[in-house]
Structure 1
Amino acid sequence: MTTYRARFDGGVGFTNGGGLQVQGFLVDVPSAEVTVEQVGELFLASLGLLMAGEVTISNLEIVEAPHKGTRGGPAAEAGETGQGPGRFVELSHVIRDGMITLPNLPGPRFGKHLTREDSRGIYAPGTEFEIGEFTMVTNTGTYMDSPYHRYPDGHDLTGFQLERTVDVPAVVVRLDDSAKLGIDAAALATYDVQGKAVLLQTGDDARFGTPAYVENAHFLTEDGAEWLIRNGAVLVGIDAANIDDMTDGTRPAHSLLLGADIAIVEHLTNLGAVPVSGATFTAAAPLVEGLGTFPVRAFARTAY
Structure 2
Amino acid sequence: MLRYRAEFDAEVTFADGGDLNARRFQVDVPHADVTEAEITERLVDLLAPRPVERARLSGVRVFGEPHIPLQRPVSRTRFVELSHVIRDGLITYPGLPAPQLRQHLTRSESRDRYAPGTEFAIDRITMVGNTGTYVDSPFHRYADAADLAGLPLERLAEVPAVVVRAIGGPRGVTPETLAGVDVAGRAVLLHTGGDRHWATKDYVTDAPYLTREGAQDLVDRGAAVVGIDAVNLDDISAQARGERPAHSLLLAAGIPIVEHLTNLAVLPVHGARFTAVPPRIAGFGSFPVRAYATVPAQEPHDRAHSGGWQPGGHA
TM-score (norm. length: structure 2): 0.69
Q: Where does residue 244 of structure 2 map in the other structure?
A: 251
Mapping 1:34-113, distance limit 5 Å: 85-113=76-104
Q: Where does residue 176 of structure 2 map in the other structure?
A: 186
Size of the alignment, in residue pairs? Answer: 221
SS in 1 for 2:176: helix
CA distance in 2, matches of 1:158, 1:134: 20
Structure 1 position 84, deviation (Å): 6.2
SS in 1 for 2:291: strand
CA distance in 1, matches of 2:244, 2:217: 16
CA distance in 1, matches of 2:249, 2:198: 26
CA distance in 2, matches of 1:148, 1:289: 10
Q: Rg: which structure is higher?
A: 2
Deviations 1:156-202 (A, max 9, x none): 01111111110000000011222x10101111012011110000000
Q: Indicate yes or no: 2:285 matched with 1:276.
A: no
Deviations 1:220-273 (A, max 9, x none): 000000100111101000000000000221100000000000010000000000
Q: Indicate yes or no: 2:282 matched with 1:289.
A: yes
Q: Where does residue 267 of structure 1 map in the other structure?
A: 260
AA paired with 1:253?
A
Q: Where does residue 216 of structure 2 map in the other structure?
A: 226
Q: In the alignment, which of 196, 199, 203 is matched to residue 206 of structure 1?
A: 196
CA distance in 2, matches of 1:112, 1:227: 46
AA paired with 2:193?
G
AA paired with 1:97?
D
SS in 1 for 2:97: coil
Q: In the alignment, which of 197, 207, 217 is matched to residue 207 of structure 2?
A: 217
AA paired with 1:139?
N
Structure 1 position 85, deviation (Å): 3.0
CA distance in 2, matches of 1:103, 1:229: 29
Deviations 1:269-295 (A, max 9, x none): 000001000110000000111100000
Q: In the alignment, which of 157, 164, 178 is matched to residue 155 of structure 2?
A: 164
CA distance in 2, matches of 1:86, 1:176: 27
SS in 2 for 1:172: strand
TM-score (norm. length: structure 1): 0.71
AA paired with 1:135?
T
SS in 1 for 2:113: coil
AA paired with 2:207?
A
SS in 1 for 2:275: strand
Identity of aligned residues (%): 57
Mapping 1:23-42, distance limit 5 Å: none
AA paired with 1:251?
R
CA distance in 2, matches of 1:97, 1:197: 30
SS in 1 for 2:276: strand
Deviations 1:65-124 (A, max 9, x none): xxxxxxxxxxxxxxxxxx963211000000111111112111110111111111111111
CA distance in 2, matches of 1:239, 1:263: 15
Q: Where does residue 122 of structure 1 map in the other structure?
A: 113
AA paired with 1:263?
P
CA distance in 1, matches of 2:256, 2:76: 27
Q: In the alignment, which of 136, 139, 149 is matched to residue 148 of structure 1?
A: 139
AA paired with 1:270?
N
SS in 2 for 1:227: helix
Structure 1 position 125, deviation (Å): 1.2
AA paired with 2:269?
V
SS in 2 for 1:171: strand
CA distance in 2, matches of 1:184, 1:216: 16
Deviations 1:37-80 (A, max 9, x none): xxxxxxxxxxxxxxxxxxxxxxxxxxxxxxxxxxxxxxxxxxxx
